[in-house]
Amino acid sequence: MTVISQIHIVGSNPIHYQMSLNMPSSRRQFIQYSLLASMGLLHSNRLQAQTPAKHSVGVLLDPLFFKHDRKGHPESAARLEAIDKELSRRNYWQHFTPVKGRPATQEELLSTHQSGYIFEIQTLSEEGKDIFYSAYSEDTYINEHTYDAALMAAGGNIELNLAVYDRKIDRGFGLLRPPGHHARADQAMGFCIFNSDVIAARALQKYRGVKRVAIIDFDVHHGNGTQDLTIKDPSIMAVSIHQHPYWPMTGFESFTGIGDAEGTNVNCPFLKGAGNQTYLDVYDQVIHPKLEQFKPEHIIVFAGYDGHWQDPLAGHQLSVAGYNRLVQRCIDSAEALCGGRISFSLGGGYNLDPLAQSVAGSLHTLLALDEDPRYHW
């Protein structure tokens, strides 16, 4: 079946899309399919893969995520391009259900960030300059598309998690940029602008009445922003496995929550060289038991792949196979505790080949595809 549709976009000439619904094998077709489905021009928003997966996995990807970019920076659009190339090579796009994103509203941003900070990011982005947010640290850049991309990452993550919670899809993965776990209420840092996972958790609580959300962060850097934003909130459990001592020099095991939130902040810091088994053991011995006590109704995972043994920024020595097993542990917790409701959002990973292979491995695990002997994990 082939659909030919004409879409009128304000301020633009009509755009003609032609695509096969049976084989949307490329990222470009995937985004086009998502756009058509969101406008009611398709009868179904579920892709028809040649080899059906055991679970429907919603994927969020928006063109804006490629426009927040700085050539030569570790966190650039080249990361998504590498992931796209690997998913296309494996013909995985056909398996995903497109989730159409939208910009977060000001009210949704204000659930997590201060108004002055939001205005600051908007103003700096609208100036159209390619600048660093902090001249001192020079780690987080802003260009003319940053504010719009960050709004889309936050709002899109809300839509992805609502789709999972409402069981429109079994599981979700947001290929989001810019990332969010270092973003604080009033400060951008560590490549991050808006903390889209905390924003999504609070949207679930507001729109669906969810009482308890767990955020699991396996990026090799501690999610200091997520910790700061939830340290006094007993309704959100923030779990982090990370390298320590290491930037941003936070994430001590002794930080467990404040007041009524005591016990809902779980830090698992490990020295350089931790490896696959350390991650899996701490998940089994600490994280899953803590989740059992908390009883989340929904789980969000900040999936950073910068702990890979080939990554240039850290030294936790994980492999793709290790990440696959860790992802499966997260899925198993969701199946046991909250009806399988789980989504993932893209975190770090700065060596492009292992990043792309790790993301492909995680999506393979989420889909529960049969093992393909052509691919070495």
CB-based contacts of 128: which residues, under 8 Å, 6+ apart?
143, 144
Active site residue 181: no
Tell me the CA distances in angstroms from 61 to 11, 98, 172, 179, 192, one per residue in order. 23, 8, 11, 13, 17
Q: Which of 68, 113, 145, 182 is catalytic?
A: 182
Q: How far apart are CA 1 and CA 59, in angstroms?
A: 22
Q: Are 63 and 31 in contact (CB under 8 A)?
A: yes
Q: Are 326 and 304 in contact (CB under 8 A)?
A: no
Parallel/antiparallel/unpaired status of strands 2-7 and 141-142: unpaired
Secondary structure (DSSP) of 88-111: HHTT-GGGEEE----PPPHHHHHT
CA quadruple 195, 134, 265, 344: dihedral, nearest 10: 40
∠ CA(371), CA(374), CA(377), 5° rounding? 65
**Residue ranges in 105-248 assigned as alpha helix (H):** 106-110, 115-126, 146-165, 196-208, 224-230
Q: How far apart are CA 301 and CA 363, in angstroms?
A: 13
Active site residues: 182
